[in-house]
Structure 1
Amino acid sequence: MILLIDAGNSRLKWACLQVKKLQPGGAVARSAAPTRDFASAWDALEAPEAVFVTSVAGEKFDKTLANWIKRKWKREPEFLATRAKGFGVTNAYREPERLGADRWLALIGAHDAWDGPVCIVDCGTAVTLDALRGDGSHEGGLIVPGLALMRDSLKERASGIDAISLNPEARTGLLATDTGNAIIAGSLYSLVALIERVVGDLSLEWKEPVQCLVTGGDAEQILPLLSVKAEHCPDLIFTGMAVIARQSGAAQPAARGREKDGHEMEYLSADPGQPAVARLVVSAHG
């Protein structure tokens, strides 16, 4: 089993890759005590063969996570970084490393799973939109505040509404009849309008339909309001991580055989065209 970890600004998410098949994991809210978060998430998990991480949580958090993994499972996690080109995708950024690793992985996942052009919408603390052509060319993207940031900024900066309690679960139509619901509906429709305009403009510019793929923690609030055809892809980043894990050889099952002396050997897969590495497997028989 390979553990895939996505450390975001507010949540810690994970999935597992079992014999090339992506399995759902879980998510916990990040707290001020990250080691408690790690224990809550993974104390009962079997020891993984490898750990791949994407993180926007900062250097201090990443170091704490790496040390916990090494103590818990004696594994060195691989932190995935953005590249100028790889896995069928070409990064549009002039400084490729400035594109967030989570966005890079979502691009890889979308290119692997979908044919044709797509617009990837990640609805998290910030909302990002990335345009990807069918040939894997990333054309660039947009970043705007997410739902919570929009609402919080209004409460902090607009006079007279700082004391209003917001209930994001409240049902609201197009128009609200109180200030709290007006803020909630306004933030939702702001993002909906942006997404629909970008997808429509891309389709016109590229002269072909552009598929909208929506991921992130707030995706389920946005999706029902969209009039453009959209797919919910909650595991898009993990799909991209799985592509990298498979191509690294980490996700390849080991082949077993017997040497002439009768010892059982486990042949660990290597990169295509490279020789396999053999490891002795010792078992006790009663």
Structure 2
Amino acid sequence: MSFVDVDIGNTRLKWRLRGSDAVTYCMHGGDPATALAQMLSHTQGALYVAHVFGADVEEALRAAAVTGGAREIRFARTKAEHDGLRLAYAQPQRMGVDRFLAMAALWRERRAGFIAVSAGTALTVDIVDDRGQHLGGFIAPGLHAMRTAVLDRTQFPHVFDAPAHDQPGTDTESCVAEAALAAALGLLERVQTRHRLPGFVGGGDATTLQPFLASDAWTLREHLVLEGLAALND
């Protein structure tokens, strides 16, 4: 039986066949069940799914999987402890499974401390020490969310796609874009300075942040959730 790992984030659905390096993604527009059904027209098998939505969405996802011909569908859950990784949360079920899976993937690979970052709708940071103990983390608005929080409250027409270059902006949009970038980089650099652990960055905005981070301290890892799904289901 073939296994397909599926990562459903706030805006995108990504999947890959277990054992393959090829990752495919699509925007789901807030309707992940329809996107999953469309995915199944291209690939079938047993699905192992991580999603950031509430439990209510799982019924629709399961129905889409059955209609699409999937042999089975299983949903990943956050665990208080896995393979020597121990979460700091007193209520592990309140941690997004995407964060847990990213840490599980890195811990399985490294068996040493790290900083796991997901740069998407939210910017999440989690620190794990050399014993596998999760020390806690940070959740901040992602780059687009930070831009929106400012620009949507202005009274003039504006755009959101101003590039950022880690320098002062020269118009309102670029000033906002540069501030969002600086805030994100500042958080990551502060965490790395304090804990002195190697950092790994994934998520939709990872490639935006990576060029401005120290190359000897930070590594781009775009598909940690998919790697975590494979790690938990081997």
Superposed displacement of residue 110, structure 1: 0.7
Q: Which amino acid aligns with 2:39?
A: A
Alignment-derived partner of residue 41 in structure 2? 43
* Change in 2 beyond 3 A, CA 1:196/1:238: same
Counting aligned pairs with the same residue, the percent is: 28
Is 1:176 the counterpart of 2:177 in the alignment? no
Instruction: Name the count of aligned residue pairs.
Output: 232
Query: Tell me, which stretches of 5 or more residues in structure 2 are unaligned?
Result: none
Q: Secondary structure at the match of 1:197?
A: helix
CA distance in 1 between counterparts of 2:140 and 2:30 reads 26
Alignment-derived partner of residue 30 in structure 1? 28
Is 1:123 the counterpart of 2:119 in the alignment? yes
Within 5 A, what are the aligned runs for 1:1-286?
Answer: 1-17=2-18, 21-45=19-43, 47-48=44-45, 50-157=46-153, 159-160=154-155, 162-168=156-162, 170=163, 172-203=165-196, 210-227=197-214, 229-246=217-234
What do the CA deviations read for 1:115-142 (whole angstroms, capped 9, x no partner)? 4211111001001000011221111111
Query: Tell me, which stretches of 5 or more residues in structure 1 are unaligned?
Result: 204-209, 247-286
CA distance in 2 between counterparts of 1:130 and 1:32 reads 26
Q: Which amino acid aligns with 1:53?
A: V
Q: Which amino acid aligns with 1:177?
A: T
Q: Which amino acid aligns with 2:12?
A: R
Q: Over aligned residues, Cα RMSD in angstroms?
A: 1.8
Superposed displacement of residue 74, structure 1: 4.8
Quick check: which has more Rg, 1 or 2? 1
CA distance in 1 between counterparts of 2:166 and 2:203 reads 23
Q: Which amino acid aligns with 2:6?
A: I
